Structure 1
Amino acid sequence: MEEDPERGLSAIGQALVILGDQWVLLILQRAFVLRVRTFAGWRDRLPIADSVLASRLKELVGHEVLTPVAHREGRTRHEYRLTPRGLDTWSLLVAIHSWERDWTGGMCPSLIHESCGGEARPYLACGECGKPVSARDTETVRGPHATFAGIGPPRRRRRTARADAGTDAFGYRPESMEILGDRWSTTVLAAALLGTRRFVEFQSELGIAPSVLTDRLRRFVGRGVLRQSDGDYRLTEKGLAFFEVFAFLVHWAQREFTAPPGSGLTITHRPCGAALAPVLACAVCTRPLHRHDVRFLPVPAGFAGPDLVSAGSPTVLISSRPTRACP
């Protein structure tokens, strides 16, 4: 009997088995932003091979992120709906957009908060005290059996090239894809956020091949996520800002997956002393954001990619209202 390669992984490791892939992130993004639900819908909106798309959809169903339902036009075809587990990735995906807006340049879709009517410009807030949170406001403690070997998932796919996101109005940008869409990159950045600094420390903590580690560190330095000084690799402000995405990844993973005892992370918000329950808040009214009361506005004319044209609407909603059902 073949051993399950995910057995013994930490919750974060199990999450990265699912999310540590560029195509998966783009499939989920299209499900939320453009409400894509069918195989043909993703195929038409992504430069992805049919075999790769079929494989990713099968995996997302297997991990209970999507669920197939009979298509309303017949029983021989299916739609793929987001499950409660899939819907809970919403904050993580919006946090990626927020980081891109602040740190990658170029045009990004605006997120409108329906409750106050303002451009939300989401920021990370503490669910306990409601105050803004940054990496410097927190303390992260690893459980007694938490190791980076339990964070980095087993590789089951070849890395897949994708089209340049700069031509796509809603596509994630290369910086995001290099961090979260690649399992080793995510693990290297997680180690940096937890205080790892030197090459030998990264190699020892992660059990990563020197050539792979050299490549990931070089990319991060080139992207301005890390800076190298006297043999140390330290997070820049851009790298520290990715903590917002990391916080939502940890929260989602540890809520959704069962893992070996003592293998988790505890993030504490120092100003209030509570375990961090991350929420996205609106920069205009400071109230928490929920997926049912926000919408993305298209980017200005002349920048919009083919997805906006095919959406057929002046606004593209992320909504769970009955009249505008979320996938």
Structure 2
Amino acid sequence: MDGDNKELSAIGQALAILGDRWVLLILQRAFLRRIRTFAGWRDELGTSESVLATRLKELVGHGIFELAAYRDGRTRYEYRLTARGLGLWSLLVAIHSWERDWADRAHLPPLMHDLCGDEAQPYLACGACRKPMSARDTHTEQGPLASFERVGLPRRHRRTVRPEARPDMIGYCPDSMEILGDRWSTTLLAAAFLGTRRFVDFQSRLGIAPSVLTDRLRRFVELGVFASGGDGSYRLTDKGLAFFEVFAFLVDWAQRELPAPEGSALTITHRPCGAELEPVLLCTACGEPLARREVRFALLPSVEHGH
């Protein structure tokens, strides 16, 4: 972990690592199409080589990918997901589920559960009691050093916008990219889940410039993620609250995988059963937990195009 992130909580580090649209697309294609090579991502995503090289270097540095040599006439290298990287699969499935329910994406490939043979249509549940849950069912306590301040700084690279040169049937929707594809936006939503409501409180809690905060709040209201009150406060809408499923898996992955200062953790409790949150995805069809090796996206041949 680089020096800029040493003092951040595990969740702050995760937001800094994953709050980038190219990183999300690289990870998605690694899971969905099993892309492992530089050329594979370059051709699939249409990004510049410099942008791609920077993101892959960061992902290797954070222990999410590892470089492995293979022979193809001569020695070449591919990027393989580590155990830490593989742990992100539930986060990406949670994003898919939110898009299915809230972003009008009927064309998304269904997630099939090989254990029961049906479409999974996963939903968030508590790992202790196996009951469905939402943000409203939780209570969160922050350690004294739990902070997201400076997550958006320093800026390692310019905020980039993905060119829409061709239709992308599996790429993330604009709503998801507005929330997750930018560090400040992701951090703003995290602060809202922890009870922040007013402009001045967002600013002091995050150390964010007023102009940046004004822009992100405006965009969240336009997306229907926040609703603004007459008293200058901002509250999460049902659409925004539903994103808690993604947040729960981000917190779980971060606090399991990333080293952080003592006292910087979040403790999320499932109030109905009193257990500390261990989020799981359950299959709507059979009610069983979904495991990475037991689910697959049913991609059409035209979408797979040889990958």
* Pairwise TM-score range, normalised by the shorter structure: over 0.9
Report the counterpart of residue 234 of structure 1 in structure 2. 235
Report the counterpart of residue 289 of structure 1 in structure 2. 290
CA contact (8 A) 1:12 1:151 kept: no
CA contact (8 A) 2:145 2:264 kept: yes
CA contact (8 A) 2:110 2:297 kept: yes
Q: Which moved more, 1:142-151 or 1:190-199?
A: 142-151
Q: Which moved more, 1:57-66 or 1:89-98?
A: 57-66
Aligned pairs (5 A) from 1:12-161: 12-106=11-105, 107-149=107-149, 152=152, 154-161=154-161
Query: 2:266 aligned with 1:308, yes or no?
Result: no
Q: What per-residue deviation string (whole Å, max 9, x for no partner) do you get for residues 81-136 of structure 1?
A: 10000000000011001000000013211101011111101111111111111000
TM-score (ref. length: structure 2): 0.95
Q: CA deviation at 1:152?
A: 5.0
Report the counterpart of residue 317 of structure 1 in structure 2. none
Letter in 1 for 2:35: V
Compared CA separation, residues 196 and 137, structure 1 to 2 (3 A):
same
* Secondary structure of the corresponding residue to residue 119 of structure 2: coil
The separation in 2 between residues aligned to 1:117 and 1:196, in whole angstroms, is 42
Q: CA deviation at 1:158?
A: 0.9
Q: CA deviation at 1:141?
A: 1.0
* Secondary structure of the corresponding residue to residue 140 of structure 2: strand
CA contact (8 A) 1:169 1:308 kept: no
Q: What per-residue deviation string (whole Å, max 9, x for no partner) do you get for residues 18-73 of structure 1?
A: 21111111001000000101111111110200111111111111111111111231
Q: CA deviation at 1:177?
A: 1.0
Q: CA deviation at 1:308?
A: 2.5
Q: What per-residue deviation string (whole Å, max 9, x for no partner) do you get for residues 259-287 of structure 1?
A: 11111111000111010001111011110
CA contact (8 A) 1:149 1:206 kept: yes
The separation in 2 between residues aligned to 1:295 and 1:177, in whole angstroms, is 23
Q: CA deviation at 1:206?
A: 1.1
RMSD of aligned residue pairs (Cα, Å) = 1.7
CA contact (8 A) 2:141 2:268 kept: yes
Letter in 2 for 1:60: L
* Secondary structure of the corresponding residue to residue 162 of structure 1: coil
The separation in 1 between residues aligned to 2:192 and 2:166, in whole angstroms, is 28
Letter in 2 for 1:65: I
The separation in 1 between residues aligned to 2:75 and 2:110, in whole angstroms, is 38
* Secondary structure of the corresponding residue to residue 248 of structure 1: helix
* Secondary structure of the corresponding residue to residue 148 of structure 1: coil
CA contact (8 A) 1:17 1:154 kept: no
CA contact (8 A) 2:197 2:235 kept: yes
Report the counterpart of residue 248 of structure 1 in structure 2. 249
CA contact (8 A) 2:151 2:183 kept: no
The separation in 1 between residues aligned to 2:108 and 2:16, in whole angstroms, is 28
| Paired-residue identity, % | 67
* Secondary structure of the corresponding residue to residue 129 of structure 1: coil
Q: What per-residue deviation string (whole Å, max 9, x for no partner) do you get for residues 181-230 of structure 1?
A: 11100111011111111111111111111110010001100000001111
* Secondary structure of the corresponding residue to residue 261 of structure 2: coil
Report the counterpart of residue 167 of structure 2 in structure 1. 167
Q: CA deviation at 1:164?
A: 3.7
* Secondary structure of the corresponding residue to residue 186 of structure 2: helix
Letter in 2 for 1:25: L
The separation in 2 between residues aligned to 1:121 and 1:309, in whole angstroms, is 25
Letter in 1 for 2:192: A
The separation in 2 between residues aligned to 1:279 and 1:100, in whole angstroms, is 18
The separation in 2 between residues aligned to 1:152 and 1:247, in whole angstroms, is 20
Q: Which moved more, 1:281-290 or 1:148-157?
A: 148-157
Report the counterpart of residue 201 of structure 1 in structure 2. 201
Report the counterpart of residue 221 of structure 1 in structure 2. 221
The separation in 2 between residues aligned to 1:310 and 1:213, in whole angstroms, is 43
Gaps of 5+ in 2: none
Count of aligned pairs between the two proteins: 304
TM-score (ref. length: structure 1): 0.89
Compared CA separation, residues 33 and 165, structure 1 to 2 (3 A):
farther
